[in-house]
Amino acid sequence: MVYALDRPDLWYKDAVFYEVSVRAFADSNDDGIGDLAGLTSKLGYLARLGIDAIWMLPIFPSPLRDDGYDVADYRSIHPDYGTLDDFRRLVAEAHKRGLRVVVELIPNHTSDQHPWFQASRDPSHPEHERYRDWYVWSDTDDAYSDTRIIFLDSEPSNWTFDELRGQYFWHRFFHHQPDLNFDNPEVQQEMLRIVQFWIDEGADALRIDAPPYLFEREGTNCENLPETHAYLKRLRAFVDAYAPGTMLLSEANQWPEDVRDYFGDGDEMHMNFHFPLMPRIFMALAKQSRAPIEEIMDRTPPLPDICQWGTFLRCHDELTLEMVTPEERAFMWDFYAPEPRMRLNLGIRRRLAPLLENDQARIRCANSILLTFIGSPFLYYGDETGMGDNIWLDDRNGVRTPMQWNAEPNAGFTGRDVPPERLYEPVIESETFGYTKVNVEAQAADPESLLNWTRDILALRKQHPVFGRGDLTLLNPENPAVLAYVRTYADETVLVVNNLAPTAQEVTLDLSAYAGRNRSAGRTLTDLLTGATLEAPASDAWTLSLERYGFRWLSFSG
Ligand code: NOJ
Ligand code: CA
């Protein structure tokens, strides 16, 4: 269905999202830790970049053993990051600039430091009775044995013994992150109240962390259970009634056919990340073949009208290889993570630019695919400048280093006189990616920079709702190194052609079905990237040349 563009509740269909770590972005008070006031001071930068919404990594009080995904209080702000007043100011300033704000909801688990868990584990705690069943407890560690372990590199089991309670508790992630018991109606209700709280504070959308694991049932793999979907539908109904237009985005790292269920009939999540597509973009570039993308698109079901995929190249986690076959994983590890230290769990802890060998043409090609393929794209902070990583930092911290704003000491992330050892993590200093080379200020001044290219291409994308909303038809040219597709929406038809190879390629396309579709525009093509008008593809064999990693966005409708 073609929805009117003026339906504001569908804003997420046209949006480009920017994922930001508050801790890593900008430090306003020189304590070496990024904060909400720092992020607020950079909203002008983000608006100029051309994004539409910011998604912040967790900002709640937390022992930070999982960078805030270990929540110790759902209704407050980590003191390192500021206060609720700072949050409200951030939202107000974002809204002034037309930017929306996505807040994390982490329903599956808390930190073991959360007062609920402290009460639940301790029979002598005054609130023990009340919280006794808020977590998943067992006398043995052999229940739900068909369930996989996600953090394979650090966790031997999904059960950990608690001395005080004398029982095991269930955790799908770290052993310091106990899963909440969603069979308990009070837990279900409390999570809705937390959602209400953040909507009241100004959230425009919520990113639901780890939704597949809310419920456990013996004899299953404890993922994607009907009970989980029933609860997510209840959450959606609650949000629709309380604050219509609030968008729910889910992080179900599953195969497309399983993720499809998280959209329901348009009555569950508005958006879901398309996890399996992401590694296949990298695989296609590595193999110089569009086949991996074709294969996953074959498995990608259509969505209810109001729903949307979220797409991304990189994020704050390792580049996950959970949704690939073992052979594909081996290929990806060999190609993109030749050093053992680059690997983590079932993934790769590297950033976009290093993964693509800092090859500017390849980075732009990957972004061309991201920005023109199905769904709404998510950019990861720093990738707009081609920031590097530090694989020697713990866990996934190597892709969460301070944003590089300028060439001054501490990269402009915090005061230049702050001793470097005070920073929550060191800035990148490597020869290629160090902050004196890669930073916002230098790139803003360079017309050829990745930053300026990203600004231009986001501005262009914004003029063409077809990219967020259109149907996508993959073309099947003989040359496997060319990924070509046609996007159509209302009266606009755009052909996108990407060369996945490091050498120039020719491709012959049959466009007879599209040429002349839009009669008023005649049979010409407009190159959206240059503004040039091209000779019409009169025959069914139209030949196009592409530079190495070159791409064209060609509009039939002028
Ligand atoms: C998914 C988040 O993206 C990741 O960073 C976190 O460690 C796990 N969920 C557990 O919350
Ligand atoms: Ca600070």
Helix (H/G/I), strand (E/B), else coil: 343: strand
pLDDT in tens, 86-125: 999 999 999 999 999 999 999 999 999 999 999 999 999 9
Say if residues 29 and 37 touch (Cβ distance below 8 Å). yes
- Phi then psi dihedrals of residue 310, to 5 deg: -105, 130
C-alpha span between 280 and 275 (Å, rounded): 9
Q: What is the pLDDT of residue 521?
A: 44
The Å distance, Cα 113 to ligand 2 centre, comes to: 23
What interhelical angle do 277-287 and 291-298 show, nearest 10? Answer: 150
Pocket lining: 134 vs ligand 1, CB cutoff 6 Å: no
Pocket lining: 69 vs ligand 1, CB cutoff 6 Å: yes
Assess whether pLDDT exceeds 90 at residue 535. Answer: no
pLDDT in tens, 167-206: 999 999 999 999 999 999 999 999 999 999 999 999 999 9
Please tell me the pTM assigned to this model: 0.97
The Å distance, Cα 246 to ligand 1 centre, comes to: 22
* Candidate list 104, 112, 204, 251, residue with the active-site label: 251
Assess whether pLDDT exceeds 50 at residue 520. Answer: no
What is the bridge-based pairing of β-strands 347-348 and 376-380? unpaired
Say if residues 543 and 479 touch (Cβ distance below 8 Å). no
Q: Which stretches of 122-225 are DSSP H helices?
A: 128-131, 185-201
The Å distance, Cα 317 to ligand 1 centre, comes to: 7
Residue 258 is a catalytic residue: no
Confidence at 534, pLDDT banded by 50, 70, 90: confident
Helix (H/G/I), strand (E/B), else coil: 497: strand
What does the pLDDT average to over 521-549?
Answer: 85
Confidence at 385, pLDDT banded by 50, 70, 90: very high
pLDDT in tens, 304-340: 999 999 999 999 999 999 999 999 999 999 999 999 9
Atom of ligand 1 nearest to the CA of 253: 1
Nearest alpha carbon to residue 104 among 276, 248, 270: 248
Strand segments (E) across 308-454 = 308-312, 319-320, 343-344, 347-348, 376-380
Assess whether pLDDT exceeds 80 at residue 3. Answer: no
Which residue's CA is the closest to the ligand 1 atom numbered 7?
66
What is the bridge-based pairing of β-strands 482-489 and 471-474? antiparallel
How is residue 353 written in tokens? 């630019």
Cα of 31 vs its chain's centroid, Å? 28
Confidence at 536, pLDDT banded by 50, 70, 90: low
Q: What is the pLDDT of residue 54?
A: 98
* Ligand with smallest separation from the Cα of 31: 2
C-alpha span between 177 and 192 (Å, rounded): 20
Which of 19, 20, 66 should be mutated for ligand 1, with most atoms under 8 A from CB? 66
The Å distance, Cα 542 to ligand 2 centre, comes to: 57
Sign of CA dihedral 77, 82, 85, 88: negative
How is residue 153 written in tokens? 């590199």
Residue 209 is a catalytic residue: yes
DSSP character for 148?
A: P
What proportion of the chain, given as a percentage, has pLDDT over 90? Answer: 93
Q: What is the pLDDT of residue 4?
A: 60
C-alpha span between 77 and 81 (Å, rounded): 7
The Å distance, Cα 58 to ligand 1 centre, comes to: 10
Q: Give the count of beta carbons closer than 10 Å to the beta carbon of residue 535.
A: 9
Pocket lining: 104 vs ligand 1, CB cutoff 6 Å: no
Average pLDDT, the chain: 96
* Ligand with smallest separation from the Cα of 345: 1
Say if residues 58 and 68 touch (Cβ distance below 8 Å). yes
What interhelical angle do 277-287 and 326-336 show, nearest 10? Answer: 60
